[in-house]
Amino acid sequence: MATNDELPIEPHETFDTILVLDFGSQYSHLITRRLRELNVYSEMLPCTQKLSELSWEPKGIILSGGPYSVYWDDAPHVDPAVFDLDVPILGICYGLQEIAWHFGKNVLAGEKREYGHAFLKVERHSGKNTHVDALFNGLEDDMEVWMSHGDKLSNLPPSFVTIATTSNAPFAGMAHEDKPYYGIQFHPEVTHTPRGTQLLKNFAVDICKARQDWTMGKFVDQEIARIRALVGEKGQVIGAVSGGVDSTVAAKLMQEAIGDRFHAVLVDNGVLRLKEAQQVKETLTKHLGINLTVVDASERFLGLLKGVKDDPEKKRKIIGNTFIEVFQEEAKKIAAEAAGSSKAGEIEWLLQGTLYPDVIESISFKGPSATIKTHHNVGGLLAGMHLKLIEPLRELFKDEVRELGTNLGIPEELVWRHPFPGPGIAIRILGEVTPEQVRIAREADHIFIEEIKAAGLYRKISQAFAALLPVKAVGVMGDKRVHDQVIALRAVETSDFMTADWYPFDGQFLKKVSRRIVNEVEGVCRVVYDITSKPPGTIEME
């Protein structure tokens, strides 16, 4: 077990790490992602990173693409010290141009911009310097690649040779004759370059000699040791859980590390899904052994939501602010109790389920003069408690969190759960949120999700729910005229939640869901299906 004097270990200290220096390309994070898929650990830092301030040694460095032109006066440039380190360097697009600029200042605007697919011809130099061929080892001589650039090299910088060309880019790939420096004009990190991952593997594994040992099993052991070292023998941690995958995985990790010194709090805001508070409680306490307090604040939330009709933002604000108040009150209670017990120290830490994309977002390089945003945190959340943040998932991507969850024994159902908004079904009840409206929306949603699961579609669909529309329509039920409400079903497929398309259910499926909702949910006489993509629609309705 770790002791207080032991310093917490960061992943880059134990895993061979490829450092991605970000010049602001929209694909930069994908480079990191692809390397981790190869079980090679990778981290991204802004291109302005001073290497003398880096406390660890990368096995290799990748310079990403970027929207600038290297010859601009205010273009961002890499710390020239990278070329003094004894590690391989790969420049991608802007990164290639940056290497060329460093060695020869020979980059200019091309006559023709090149976006999209291109055919690459690989040039081999076997016999002379074999290392120059290493990047394209095992790849075909003709490759399909994805390009997105307007600038080009006018000629090769001194000591470089061409290793690939396209019809428009005579220097689509280059390598240094003596040193392990490579540059490519195309993007290997996007799926439109089918063999791109192999190329990244050639660089990371063969050229940089990085071990492929980044596995979740190892991460768990190390992260548990790190949490213990950080928190110490007595320290206590508090954190909110929602029943979603991120907060559950983070909570389980804390429980493994420090047991009951981690206090999880679930706030029942009255707008969770049907029977959700009970279910989350069951799973977290009985199945996962987490020290959990459930605060039933539903009446308080619903009381405040009363009368709020036409202003979705107001609903969101009420729920967000009340959540903070309730959580804070509970945290103070738990802290007071903890202070009274002799076996543990004070609550000093607040758990947050921050993921790597949030970290990347906060450090990513947005412009030569742009100040880099500081990472958002809820430090101010628990005013007066002066809690330090602990973020055990901050190095992980979403799918890595899921893998970690599975590793920690979290039920599949929870690991693959669709995202659920903080304001809950309050923003799926258009119009006023009353206990009766909550009942209707909950029951309809439950039937819809149940049928999606029964049809084996839950994992295919990214997010699905039933919304309650604030209008009444006429229907006839049991020969009697009824005037009841309308449920709108929404189900979308998306890979990043930035854009989304509605899911094309077959008619039989919709028929069944509609029949069940109208029959089983009192107060509903019609069901419609939302066929709006995002954009222009959002995923949620409010």
Catalytic annotation present for 93: yes
Q: Minimum distance between the CB of residue 196 and ligand GLN, rounded to whole angstroms?
A: 14
For tokens 């995985």, what's the residue? 249
- Looking at 66, 173, 270, 353, which residue binds ligand GLN (CB under 6 A)? 66
66 is in an annotated binding site: no
Site for ligand GLN contains 94 (CB under 6 A): yes
The amino acid at residue 6 is E
248 is in an annotated binding site: yes
320 is in an annotated binding site: no
For tokens 């480079």, what's the residue? 31
Site for ligand GLN contains 367 (CB under 6 A): no
298 is in an annotated binding site: no
How large is the angle between the packed helices 216-231 and 245-258, nearest 10 degrees? 60
Burial of 510 (0-12, 13-18, 19+ CB in 10 A): middle
Q: Minimum distance between the CB of residue 7 and ligand GLN, rounded to whole angstroms?
A: 38
Q: 166 vs 104, 127, 323, 476, CA distance in Å? A: 21, 24, 57, 67
Contact 451, 520 (CB under 8 A): no
Contact 87, 208 (CB under 8 A): yes
**Which residue lies nearer to ligand GLN by CB, 172 or 265?**
172
213 is in an annotated binding site: no
For tokens 């055990």, what's the residue? 392
**Which residue lies nearer to ligand GLN by CB, 102 or 226?**
102
Catalytic annotation present for 189: yes
Site for ligand GLN contains 58 (CB under 6 A): no
- The DSSP line for 309-376 is -S-HHHHHHHHHHHHHHHHHHHHHHHHHHHHH-SSS--EEEEE----HHHHHHHHS---SSPPPPPPP
Choose the catalytic residue: 12, 29, 43, 93.
93
As a whole number of angstroms, the distance between CA 509 and CA 505 comes to 7
* Residue closest to ligand GLN (Cβ): 65
Q: Minimum distance between the CB of residue 151 and ligand GLN, rounded to whole angstroms?
A: 3
**Which residue lies nearer to ligand GLN by CB, 65 or 235?**
65
Q: Minimum distance between the CB of residue 182 and ligand GLN, rounded to whole angstroms?
A: 15
Q: How many residues of this chain bind ligand GLN (CB under 6 A)?
A: 12
Contacting ligand GLN within 114-173 (CB under 6 A): 148-151
Q: Minimum distance between the CB of residue 66 and ligand GLN, rounded to whole angstroms?
A: 5
- For residue 136, the 8-state DSSP code is G
116 is in an annotated binding site: no
Choose the catalytic residue: 102, 149, 176, 187.
187
Catalytic annotation present for 47: no
Site for ligand GLN contains 425 (CB under 6 A): no
Q: Minimum distance between the CB of residue 174 and ligand GLN, rounded to whole angstroms?
A: 15
- The DSSP line for 161-177 is EEEEE-SS-TTSEEEES
Strand duo 41-46 + 17-22: pairing: parallel
Q: Report the helix count and the strand count for the chain, using DSSP H and E.
A: 14, 18
**Which residue lies nearer to ligand GLN by CB, 31 or 241?**
31
**Which residue lies nearer to ligand GLN by CB, 94 or 171?**
94
- Looking at 2, 31, 63, 93, which residue binds ligand GLN (CB under 6 A)? 93
Choose the catalytic residue: 43, 98, 189, 451.
189
Three-state DSSP string of 14-64? HCCEEEEEECCCCCHHHHHHHHHHCCCEEEEEECCCCHHHCCCCCCEEEEC
Q: Which stretch binds ligand GLN (CB under 6 A): 14-22, 66-74, 243-251, 457-465?
A: 66-74
246 is in an annotated binding site: yes
Q: Minimum distance between the CB of residue 145 and ligand GLN, rounded to whole angstroms?
A: 13
Q: 12 vs 59, 110, 213, 300, CA distance in Å? A: 10, 39, 12, 46
Residues at the binding site are 242-248
| Residue list, annotated binding site for ATP | 242-248
Positions touching ligand GLN (CB under 6 A) are 25, 65-69, 93-94, 148-151
| Residues acting as catalytic residues | 93, 187, 189
